[in-house]
């Protein structure tokens, strides 16, 4: 039992989405800023955003607007999920009791937070392979309803894209969400 608890704690420790801070193609100041923000599980500050965007060549208004809208976007995605799959939060559902549902919404917010980092860095491939493998295993062990998470993330993508007008910006945001979806749903089976 102790081994399982220790193994579970290790999984929790290593389960992470963000891989930008280990991407050697990015400038060191960018990697350091992203690492600090990610460790604190917070959005980028205005100064951090300015620094990263100057280095990446991205207009800071794009990630800035995603940061500003993040709570609203997650709340709208949550409402959509609950409208389309209300059984998830009912007794016996995968997001019942309430603390499981709250963990799901927190994960959605954190996914959007990391996507915002990726947009600021102009990187659509932004995940940590080892961190995502640990996250997928953690989700498997905790019976996280990946289908529901996919519905919420798909809706989050649609809502985020509504706030973006320039074609190149839209493509970057779309690519970031597609990358996350692919990594989250990657099968452990190797052929």
**188 has pLDDT over 80:** no
Q: How confident is the model at residue 160 (pLDDT cuts 50, 70, 90)?
A: very high
Average pLDDT estimate for 40-61: 97
In the chain, the percentage of residues whose pLDDT exceeds 90 is 75
**115 has pLDDT over 60:** yes
80-112: burial string, b at 16+ Cβ within 10 Å, e else: bbbeebeebbeeebbbeeeebbeebbebbbbbb
pLDDT of residue 2: 41
Q: How confident is the model at residue 36 (pLDDT cuts 50, 70, 90)?
A: very high
Q: Identify the structural domains of the chain with CATH numbers, from first to last.
A: 25-184 (1.10.490.20)
Asked whether the beta carbons of 77 and 155 are under 8 A apart, the reply is yes
What are the E-state strand segments in the chain? none
**190 has pLDDT over 70:** no
């Amino acid at each position: 039992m102790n081994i399982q608890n220790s193994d579970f704690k290790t999984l929790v420790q290593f389960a992470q989405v963000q891989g930008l801070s280990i991407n050697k193609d990015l400038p060191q100041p960018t990697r350091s800023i992203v690492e600090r923000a990610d460790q604190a599980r917070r959005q980028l500050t205005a100064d951090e955003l300015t620094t990263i965007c100057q280095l990446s060549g991205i207009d800071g208004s794009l990630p800035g607007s995603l940061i500003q809208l993040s709570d609203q976007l997650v709340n709208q995605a949550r409402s959509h999920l609950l409208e389309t799959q209300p059984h998830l939060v009912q007794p016996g559902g995968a997001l019942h009791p309430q603390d499981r549902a709250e963990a799901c919404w927190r994960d959605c917010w954190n996914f959007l937070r990391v996507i915002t980092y990726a947009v600021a860095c102009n990187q659509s491939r932004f995940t940590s392979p080892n961190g995502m493998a640990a996250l997928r295993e953690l989700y498997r062990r905790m019976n996280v309803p990946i289908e529901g998470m996919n519905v919420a993330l798909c809706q989050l993508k649609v809502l985020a894209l509504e706030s973006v007008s320039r074609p190149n910006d839209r493509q970057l945001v779309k690519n970031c969400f597609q990358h996350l979806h692919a990594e989250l749903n990657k099968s452990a089976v190797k052929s």
